[in-house]
A = this chain, B = another copy of it.
């Protein structure tokens, strides 16, 4: 099991997530309803959140504070996810030479957040990592 999988493991009940994020249950469910997070469910239909989910909620909270609405936040986070995928692939060298050239070329014409602070590890992951 690698870090990515660890951060995706469904671990936390909504009660804990409320404390970790200082969001209400209503808010958390509303964000799920609008497809900003995708918590797992127990066999009895209760939500189970991962580290990633909590990170995302903290990010959502911050962006709401900054005046964005849910639609904008969804766009931002989705794009951010795409960038993260790219970075992960690059790190693991899963790209062919051609793909890599395509990405880099594209990066030159439409600079994204690839490599910027935006892509550093999530708030909560840092919170719980060891160093």
Asked if A31 is at the interface of the complex by the 8 Å CB criterion, the answer is no
Number of A positions contacting B (CB below 8 A): 17
Partner of A128, one of B12, B121, B128: B128
Nearest chain B CB to A39 CB, angstrom units: 13
Say whether A3 contacts B127, CB under 8 Å. no
CB-CB contacts below 8 Å: A89-125 with B: 121, 125
| Contact (Cβ within 8 A) B42 A6 | no
CA–CA, A48 and B131, complex, Å: 25
Considering the chains assembled together, what is the distance between the CA atoms of A127 and B5 in angstroms?
11
- Interface flag for A72 (CB, 8 Å): no
**Is B11 in contact with A12, judged by CB distance below 8 angstroms?**
yes
**B11→A16 contact, CB < 8 A:** yes
CB contact list, A13-46 vs B, under 8 A = 13, 15-16, 42
Complex formed: what's the CA distance from A16 to B121 in Å? 25
Can you spell out 11 A-B residue pairs with CB atoms less than 8 angstroms apart? Answer: A3-B131, A6-B127, A11-B11, A11-B12, A11-B16, A12-B12, A12-B16, A13-B13, A121-B130, A125-B130, A130-B130
